[in-house]
Amino acid sequence: MTTVEINFDGLIGPTHNYAGLSLGNVASAANAGEVSAPRQAALQGLAKMKRLMDLGIPQGVLPPQERPHVPVLRALGFDGSDSAVCAAAWAADPALFRNAFAASAMWTANAATVSPKPDTADGRIHLTVANLASMAHRSLEAPETEQWLRLAFSDEAHFCVHPPLRFGVHFGDEGAANHMRLAPAHGAPGVEVFVYGEDRGGRFPARQRRRASEAVARLHGLDPKRTLFVAQSDAAIQAGAFHNDVVAVANEHVLFAHEHAFEDKGAFYAALEEALPGVVIIEVPANEVGLEDAIRTYLFNSQLISLPPEGREPGSMALVMPQECRENQRVWSYVEKLLAADNPIREAIVIDVRESMRNGGGPACLRLRVQADAAAFAAIDRRFLLDEALWERLCRVVERHWPERITASDIGNPALWDEVRAARRALLTEMRLA
Ligand code: SUG
């Protein structure tokens, strides 16, 4: 077995709701207060995992985190039983409680930054847990994320898991969503591209600090000659591209990016071409797909994947894209043109992750990529790897335990708190993680 790429998707948790918590994420703001469908959301996510598994691509899964996050509420002075803590927090500060209720750990592209063996000085796979300091609800995720990653990747002969960066927003780090790796093949040495934002006083904040990216590159022992730090364009951030993966995606030697993704694209493309001769840069012109359409449809938040060679031209890739792309005439015309042109992207696989999309999370947000050779693959804790049987069992747990819908006022309902806690417990038991 050569080096494979495993997608670790976050299983969408039973508290999935629309609370409008993310400034700069236009979908989250637009849908604030709407009724969510957690059961359907989780089944959509599971269907996406199955679709990739059926293509022969290894698939992993990370469980939802404990929400409501009772420990953080206790640490803020609410006490009593778990239910009493929640009731007191909801009564005193509903906005705080909504932050402690978010299911946002589903977007595992923000769980960590991952550098595979061929890029690191010690030849191990390095993972740095993202601190997600910029948004209150997301800043709660790091400790449990670290716990799961340490369990899944516990074999120190192959993996090195780093804790989240300190210094809060000063070193704001949002993980793989602002990181791209380009290489001739998954198993070959690659160029790691860290995309950061610079606050220019606009209405929306930049979330990824350059210093954070530099720290991650140091911790992973990356070769400076094959490491690029690139500023995200402020125009993209202000249009609602709060992470780079909303306007660009890379796979092997292919970069697929919007014309306005980067502040100085000329310098970036030149540096990339020098570091990786043979790189294919597919730039989508703004007059064909404007930033607004790109952000509404999440074309660039597609998963760009290498397809197994059976029955295909070698080196064929596919974009696993949200159905919102199919529904937008301008974007779909572009996709049809792209598929007909001479480049490695041969297929568009259209999927439905509408519930996640309505919070600004597309297919690529829902997965963390880990590239592993045969020995590292064998060393991953099997409980986090999906096969047909586990997939079936997870679907049954979701169907049985996940709430059908959550309204804005349900978030303060004690019966719902009990229901979602029991749902997560049932899932952890099924995954043998309880
Ligand atoms: O951080 N949405 C997430 C979406 C993350 C998407 N991830 C990537 N682009 N990789 C965020 O803004 C909304 C939650 C709410 O409003 O209820 C939210 O957290």
**pLDDT of 199:** 87
Q: Which residue of 15, 18, 69, 104 sits with most ligand 1 atoms within 8 Å of its CB, as the best mutation to test the pocket?
A: 104
CA 152 to each of CA 93, 106, 156, 171, 297: distance values in angstroms, whole numbers, following the listed order:
36, 16, 11, 26, 33
**pLDDT of 311:** 87
Q: pLDDT tens digit string along 410-434?
A: 999 999 999 999 999 999 999 999 9
Q: Which of 57-61, 156-160, 200-204 has the lowest mean pLDDT?
A: 200-204
- Per CATH, the number for 4-67+102-430 is 3.75.10.20
Residue 69 phi/psi, 5-degree rounding, is -80, 85
Q: pLDDT tens digit string along 49-68?
A: 999 999 999 999 999 999 99
Amino acid at 61: V
Q: pLDDT tens digit string along 337-361?
A: 999 999 999 999 999 999 999 999 9
Residue owning tokens 């992993």:
60
Region 165-178 average pLDDT? 98
Which helix or strand (DSSP H or E) is residue 218 part of?
helix 210-219
Q: What residues have CB less than 8 Å from 143, skipping those under 6 apart?
A: none
How confident is residue 212, by pLDDT bands cut at 50, 70 and 90?
very high
* CA 100/CA 70 separation, integer angstroms: 8
**Residues noted as catalytic:** 174, 243, 365
CA 190 to each of CA 8, 112, 400: distance values in angstroms, whole numbers, following the listed order:
21, 18, 44
How confident is residue 310, by pLDDT bands cut at 50, 70 and 90?
confident
**pLDDT of 1:** 57
Here the tokens at position 367 are 């997965």
Half-sphere exposure of 129 (CA within 13 A, CB side): 21
* CA 292/CA 298 separation, integer angstroms: 10
Q: What residues have CB less than 8 Å from 8, skipping those under 6 apart?
A: 60, 61, 62, 108, 111, 152, 367, 368, 369, 370, 384
Nearest atom (ligand 1) to Cα of 24: 12
Region 235-253 average pLDDT? 97
Domain boundaries, the chain: 4-67+102-430
Distance from the CA of 137 to the center of ligand 1, in angstroms?
A: 10
How confident is residue 218, by pLDDT bands cut at 50, 70 and 90?
very high
| Residue 246 Cβ contacting ligand 1 at under 6 Å | yes
In the predicted structure, residue 133 carries a pLDDT above the cut 70:
yes
User: How far from chain centre, in Å, is Cα 270?
Assistant: 28
Taking a C-beta distance cutoff of 8 angstroms, is the pair 6, 370 a contact?
yes
| Residue 365 Cβ contacting ligand 1 at under 6 Å | yes
Taking a C-beta distance cutoff of 8 angstroms, is the pair 186, 114 a contact?
no
- 353, with CB counted inside 10 A (0-12, 13-18, 19+), is buried
End-to-end CA distance of the chain: 32
How confident is residue 393, by pLDDT bands cut at 50, 70 and 90?
very high
* CA 195/CA 300 separation, integer angstroms: 15
**pLDDT of 150:** 98
Distance from the CA of 242 to the center of ligand 1, in angstroms?
A: 9
* CA 67/CA 250 separation, integer angstroms: 33
